[in-house]
Amino acid sequence: MISLLMKRIALLTALWGPPLVAQASIAGDWQLSHKQLSNVGYYMLHIDQSGDKLTGTFGPVKLTGTFRNGVIEAKSDESGRPGTLTATVKGNEMEGGGEDEEGPFTFTARRTSPKTTAPVSHQFTPTEFHHYFTASIRPALHINAGDTVHTKSIDASGIDENGKRRTSGGNPLTGPFYVDGAWPGDVIAVKLIRLRLNRNSAVSLGRIFSSALTPGYFRSAKYDAKFDSDWKIDSDAGVARLAKPTDRLKDFTVELKPMLGCIGVAPREEQSFRSGSLGPFGGNMDYNQFGEGVTIYLPVFHPGALLYLGDAHAVQGDGELTGVALETSAEFSFTVEVLKDKDIPGPRAENAQYRMASGIANSLPEALQQATTSLAQWLEEDYKLTANEAAVVLATSIRYDIAEVVDPFVHIVAKIAKSTLARIKP
Amino acid sequence: MISLLMKRIALLTALWGPPLVAQASIAGDWQLSHKQLSNVGYYMLHIDQSGDKLTGTFGPVKLTGTFRNGVIEAKSDESGRPGTLTATVKGNEMEGGGEDEEGPFTFTARRTSPKTTAPVSHQFTPTEFHHYFTASIRPALHINAGDTVHTKSIDASGIDENGKRRTSGGNPLTGPFYVDGAWPGDVIAVKLIRLRLNRNSAVSLGRIFSSALTPGYFRSAKYDAKFDSDWKIDSDAGVARLAKPTDRLKDFTVELKPMLGCIGVAPREEQSFRSGSLGPFGGNMDYNQFGEGVTIYLPVFHPGALLYLGDAHAVQGDGELTGVALETSAEFSFTVEVLKDKDIPGPRAENAQYRMASGIANSLPEALQQATTSLAQWLEEDYKLTANEAAVVLATSIRYDIAEVVDPFVHIVAKIAKSTLARIKP
Amino acid sequence: MISLLMKRIALLTALWGPPLVAQASIAGDWQLSHKQLSNVGYYMLHIDQSGDKLTGTFGPVKLTGTFRNGVIEAKSDESGRPGTLTATVKGNEMEGGGEDEEGPFTFTARRTSPKTTAPVSHQFTPTEFHHYFTASIRPALHINAGDTVHTKSIDASGIDENGKRRTSGGNPLTGPFYVDGAWPGDVIAVKLIRLRLNRNSAVSLGRIFSSALTPGYFRSAKYDAKFDSDWKIDSDAGVARLAKPTDRLKDFTVELKPMLGCIGVAPREEQSFRSGSLGPFGGNMDYNQFGEGVTIYLPVFHPGALLYLGDAHAVQGDGELTGVALETSAEFSFTVEVLKDKDIPGPRAENAQYRMASGIANSLPEALQQATTSLAQWLEEDYKLTANEAAVVLATSIRYDIAEVVDPFVHIVAKIAKSTLARIKP
Amino acid sequence: MISLLMKRIALLTALWGPPLVAQASIAGDWQLSHKQLSNVGYYMLHIDQSGDKLTGTFGPVKLTGTFRNGVIEAKSDESGRPGTLTATVKGNEMEGGGEDEEGPFTFTARRTSPKTTAPVSHQFTPTEFHHYFTASIRPALHINAGDTVHTKSIDASGIDENGKRRTSGGNPLTGPFYVDGAWPGDVIAVKLIRLRLNRNSAVSLGRIFSSALTPGYFRSAKYDAKFDSDWKIDSDAGVARLAKPTDRLKDFTVELKPMLGCIGVAPREEQSFRSGSLGPFGGNMDYNQFGEGVTIYLPVFHPGALLYLGDAHAVQGDGELTGVALETSAEFSFTVEVLKDKDIPGPRAENAQYRMASGIANSLPEALQQATTSLAQWLEEDYKLTANEAAVVLATSIRYDIAEVVDPFVHIVAKIAKSTLARIKP
């Protein structure tokens, strides 16, 4: 099959004409999309060049070969995943194919260019809202790493800041934002630099979910179907109060602590999850510490990451016990940075006080295990701690938050104070 | 069989001789111990008297009868648990028997006297330490409700403040303290008014338990068997530091936050649990908020409650990840109050900031359910909230702490700020 | 907005020209697709006609109105979900719109026709294989209820019966099959009438997953990276044996018990799940009783149901402990029946001996709860049992199988012998 | 402190007078009870003797020393747990003390004698019944390994075969039986050679526990408080039927399959658990395969093991869904064998068809992990399988039973057919 591939590549070369600058350097980093069987893989291709000889790394694979007349001919490491490939380079783009033990493959690549433009601010007014975390929705806006986006979100039931229904309920999302330069294998850092509620009402529910109650209480709880759990938001006073309070809750106010329930990227491969779901891609994490000032780290699974945000809560207790918080609309601003070639098992975050590692899993025991492990590994990576050292640091200083227990998966956060970490010799 | 019982009672009456004050009032509250088959039950017997007629309540049972010549003859409510009983009263004591649908029974009772003595302070220096929460250990000290006890505890491995081994390891406990007036069905409030570490060292462990780590991390973690996890306590500076720190942790200090890992009463019936266990009786709860100033509420299952305390920690992160915290010895002072006829599903607590309800269960999901439910019920009881009202209060304001995940049962605490509760109309 | 809708409908009417048979009856059942905001809903529309008056039910909604000159004008029940609609009928198709409290909507409908054709047999040779359960893949074959399909599947790693790689690994699926007449709200009954392995090899793995082992065993287990866990299948003898057995397993044979690991329909809405996932839609259920002779009931979420099958196992123990069974290719035949307006919470099944109800959930406790409840409800529906009666029947006669514990969700089956059910008065 | 100990030993020697046979051999095995601080430990002491020199093993400790004039003087291995001890031997008994790094200790030991008596049959009619698994109850009968006991049990509510109440409810137990020769560190094999119901009625309950139902079903289930769930047992026909059946269950019969719900030994140390509890000591395991013909292996924690049995069920579905099965009285016969120095993590069992390993744990996931691991280890021990070999055997052939989900801990059994094991080369 390789001969056919080679023919196709030759044909492409012919179509593109002779390379403009045959002697041009191809050294540097390329974002590479690889297709083999039904699998699409994304890698960074790094090339070093010396005359017409080249060496490179292609994902986990090492390459050696030549670059002559605009054509790369290379083979990959015998000890790793042996194979051969040929590619035609045209400026900052490359197209090619090859074969290895898994069979023939094709690929395209594009040279990463150092970002030369200064960061810009985008004012983005969403007109469409989405109900899935998926790579199959066309980006709403392309941004560069370092850019700032000023935008807004409607509430979980689809109502905007003017009380107008804009779409169906179920956590409609703003985005997706395509982050230029974000490539699978990277991490994006989303910093929420501003988050303000933009209306004076919120909706909620008046029953705690069965997952947070003993079966006995749940069986016998007497709920009033007419109980009104709508809220008034008084942003000046910084509090919410029930819109139609019962006598006993007439003076009951809650301090506003705005947060975004949903921050996530497109999940791995062709999966599509409802905007109420969560996972390694972030999503509907419903953590009441994800407010103004937080930076959230998310793994990138698709070119551009495809970032979605929404589901503002005016305030939410731990666990999101009624399945919803004080659901409202908001305007917010965020910046995105790209951290190249970074591997994180799931969402991490930090704010002025804490480093936070998320465990998002099928059950609370598994979520706690993931959260502790992710935080331990973070310390081991950044402070070069051994497993014993991480153990004594965490055993004395870890704090857990139970973010939510009512969505398709549960979310526990393990955190440690930055003031504690400051006492570790870096 | 009733006739034999009656004979026995008659005999007792004979032995005791004629009642000293036949006309004496028997009205009031009596602590009653009831034996039927192999069951021992404890109840409060309340008697109202009018001439020689009496009415009463005997646990859930209503009584009507007579009191003549020092002898009670009564029958219990047809609609409840029909039966008859006879008893001989001698001063503030009573002995009797009867029969109901479960068969014959005997009982003794003792009149509760209004505590007239002023609270006293006890200086108690323990000489023996115990490794079980059980009713089968003889009380170390009798105290009255309101009294203060100044005492101390040795560390979890059995070493005292002078570095001397006093007993085997495994959370040796100080006590048990018999609280006069505490009767099954009551609740005791143990206020920890002072808690101070009394030596300058603590021991810990350098490995996180498997229950808090992903299996993958646990399988591959490289632990150094020689890692030294002993600590120095610098009470003046208010910190602990590793006694023999690795280079990277040379400057690592942790702020002291002393707490007692074990506070519990004798568990229900003839059960005996290791001092590492926990349950509705409290026990090895290992919650890092159980420090100076906290008041802990525990249900009473046995006359006198039989309170045990110990297992001081200099500081402990959430979850008690290595299975131990910074284990050390301490001196502490506490008072005990008795709350009559109070029903709580398990430990509750409060300090200056929070009301706290414990969920102690087989798994984190169940512990969370118990904790939420106990807190909801506490609000419903004290603030007369409906289930809907409790739901909106908790959904906005609940906080969870994961107290520990490494003991025979896990412990989650649901808490709510007192400043929030102050906004509910009582 | 309604006037625009009306205009559009009028336009459509104009385009279609005058209805061919104005007096035609529109009474009967229509499959209706309803779009409002971003929600697509599927309903059965039932119409009764009397002169030019009509009444109907439209999902949960009751309609009354007129049918004149090919145009329906109707309004829905005040007490339910009040609204109005207009539609133009053309033969067995209908197109219209309306408005209710959720806003304007449009819909199309198609009359269900009694199936008049005799069931046919389809010989279907798959050329493409799919890695997702999703409604976004075009049907591979349309079949009618009652038809039989003879087809085959490749193994979980993408290798076919000739040892040839056909696609990437990860449970590639045969299908999807569009079942004419299956409409959301129905249930399909897939009967696996034949299942035969069609090659003499299978692959497996030689390590048990961490979810089935204690952390201590998992940490210390010494696995040999070179252990060969390929199998030979001897269909004549009805057994499998290791292809390159260790000395101790030289004579170790396992009786073949072929099963399909994957049987599922497109999941609700626009969700897309990897073919390794499972849920209410069935999917990668990995239950070793889903072999020849079983009938599996699956809920329908999309028109045509979109049925996928694959992932044959030569034999599999409970739990699928190594994450894979004896993975191989197979040929199989199945029939599909459509059960109209049937509501099941998730997969159910039956074979000659048992009724089986699946619990597919995040954790074993939840899976067990779902399985028990689904089986209890099945008995309550089919035998009109009360909750007490179901309790005594199940308490004496239920059996559980732990189908698998290594996929994204776990699967427990609750089952009861048909011979036991035969003793209940229907 | 050692000098005091030595004085005490000297005193003892004095009191006992000179050893009768100074030259006597002390070689062989001794059952040794060791007390240090508050810990009591039980070990086997093995002594080899050569002239007046001796070597020995004392639990994990190696000894070398001398035996002269009836007095042992020995020291333990420097590399293990260094220490010294002295003991005075008098016939088949020994008393001594010593000191090691944990401090001073004392011990007594008794020579194990080869059992020379032929096995006997005991007819044991219980007069007392116990509600705890504990070492603090005096043995009801001493038996030798190999003996057979014919006895009986009353039902879980305390009613005997004549319908007479004998004690309170809650699984009253027959025993404890002291098995001569069973020593901590051994395993006993209890073979249930006969189990017959001895009355014609059973009681049960008509509601499924919340742990086996979804919260939604549990909240809305309509239970009739008057539903009668008493059963008639027809031993001749081999079936049970409801005593007062509803119309629909008039012909509903269940085949009898008698089992014992409770088989357990005294748990480790001074713990005392209600007879409804279960653990490594066995206990209320409620497994419907523990009927006539089964052999159950239990670890020994106390001298004599202290075996308790009871809680006969006429028939029970998996999980014991209503919290009780068909509870009745029974007569049964069992033999006990002692397996010396055997280490099992919890109960194991076998019958004609299967080897079975119990996982008794806080939650279903943990119980499954324990059961799989215990079965894997059993195969590794008995068949010298590697972890890979055990994995492929279990992955193809394991079966799980969910024994019960309603007691303080849950119980899952992992089992494998003996016919499968017969194909492994031993």
pLDDT in tens, C351-375: 999 999 999 999 999 999 999 999 9
Share of chain D above pLDDT 90, in %: 84
CA-nearest residue to C213 within chain B is: B215
Residues of chain B with pLDDT under 70: 1-23, 78, 115
* Closest CB from A248, A250, A372 relative to B383: A248
Q: In D, residues 68-127, which contact C (CB 8 Å cutoff)?
A: none
Find the closest chain B residue to C219 by CA distance: B219
Interface test with B, best of D270, D373, D409 (most B CBs within 10 A): D270
Pick from B386, B390, B398: CB nearest A318? B398
Q: What stretch of H or E contains D38?
A: none
Q: What is the mean pLDDT of chain D?
A: 92
User: Are B272 and D165 within 8 A, CB to CB?
Assistant: no
Stretch A202-215: mean pLDDT: 97
Burial string for C268-278 (b: 16+ CB within 10 Å, else e) reads ebbbbbbbbbb
Pairwise CB contact (< 8 Å): B219 & C216: no
| Model confidence at C23: pLDDT above 80 | no
pLDDT of A38 higher than 80: yes
Distance CA B90, CA B106 (A): 16
ipTM of the complex: 0.92
Mean pLDDT of all residues in C150-168: 97
How far does the CA of residue B169 sit from the closest CA of chain D (Å)? 9
Residue-wise pLDDT for A391-415, tens only, equals 999 999 999 999 999 999 999 999 9
Out of A39, A132, A409, closest to residue C270 by CB: A132
C308-350: per-residue pLDDT in tens? Answer: 999 999 999 999 999 999 999 999 999 999 999 899 999 999 9
Chains in contact with C, where contact means 3 or more Cβ–Cβ distances below 8 Å, are: A, B, D
How far is A56 from A47, CA to CA, in rounded Å?
4
Residues 160-199 of A with CB under 8 A from D: none
Residue of C nearest to A410 (CA): C362
| Overall average pLDDT of the A356-370 stretch | 98
Q: Tell me the percentage of chain C whose pLDDT exceeds 90.
A: 83
Pairs of CB atoms within 8 A across C/D: 223
Q: What is the pLDDT of residue A7?
A: 54
Distance in Å, alpha carbon of A246 to nearest chain B alpha carbon: 8
Q: What is the mean pLDDT of residues C140-159?
A: 97
Q: Report residue A416 as tokens.
A: 């440690």
Distance from CA of A263 to the nearest CA of B (A): 21
Mean pLDDT of D339-353: 95
- Enumerate the residues of chain A whose CB falls inside 8 A of the CB of residue B204: 392, 395-396
Q: Is the pLDDT reported for residue A317 higher than 80?
A: yes
Of A211, A215, A365, the CB nearest to D210: A215
Nearest to B85 by CA among B63, B110, B68: B63
pLDDT at D117: 80
Grade residue A57 by pLDDT with cuts at 50, 70 and 90.
Answer: confident
To test the contact with chain D by mutation, choose from A213, A218, A368 the residue with the greatest count of D C-beta atoms within 10 A, namely A218
pLDDT at residue A11 is higher than 60 = no
Asked if residue A390 has pLDDT above 90, the reply is yes
Rounded mean pLDDT of A358-384? 98
How buried is A297 (Cβ within 10 angstroms: 0-12 exposed, 13-18 middle, 19+ buried)? buried
Higher pLDDT, B4 or D129: D129
The answer, yes or no, to whether residue A4 has pLDDT greater than 70, is no
pLDDT band at residue C112 using 50, 70 and 90 as cut-offs: confident
Nearest CA-CA distance, residue D167 and chain B, Å? 5
Selected for mutation to probe chain D from B275, B362, B369, B405 (highest D CB count within 10 Å) is B362
DSSP string, D107-157: EEEEE-----SPP-EEE---S--BSEEETTSPPSEEEETT-EEEEEE--TT
pLDDT at position B188 is 98
Q: How far is B248 from chain D (nearest CA, A)?
A: 32
D391 touches chain C (CB under 8 A): yes
Q: What is the mean pLDDT of residues C96-104?
A: 88
Q: Is A419 on the interface with B (CB under 8 A)?
A: no
Tell me the shortest Cα–Cα distance from A366 to chain B, in angstroms.
7
User: CA of A61 to nearest chain C CA: how many angstroms apart?
Assistant: 19
In angstroms, the CA B380 to CA A222 distance is 12
Please check whether residue D36 touches B, CB under 8 A: yes
Q: Residue B362: its chain A contacts at CB < 8 A? A: none
What is the reported pLDDT for C7? 54
User: Between B19 and C201, where is the model more confident?
Assistant: C201
Query: Min CA distance, C224 vs chain B (Å)?
Result: 15
Q: What is the residue-averaged pLDDT of chain A?
A: 92
Write out chain A residues lying below 8 Å of D210, CB-based: 215-216, 219
Could you report the per-residue pLDDT of D165-179, keeping only the tens digit for each?
A: 999 999 999 999 999
Give pLDDT tens digits for C222-248.
999 999 999 999 999 999 999 999 999
- Judge whether residue D217 has pLDDT over 60: yes
H or E element in which residue A69 lies:
none
**For D19-44, what is the mean pLDDT?**
81
User: D219 and A218 in contact by Cβ < 8 A?
Assistant: yes
Which chains share 3+ C-beta pairs under 8 angstroms with D?
Answer: A, B, C
D370 and C CB contact within 8 Å: yes
For residue D104, is pLDDT > 70? yes
Amino acid at A413: V
Distance CA(D215)–CA(D205), nearest Å, equals 20
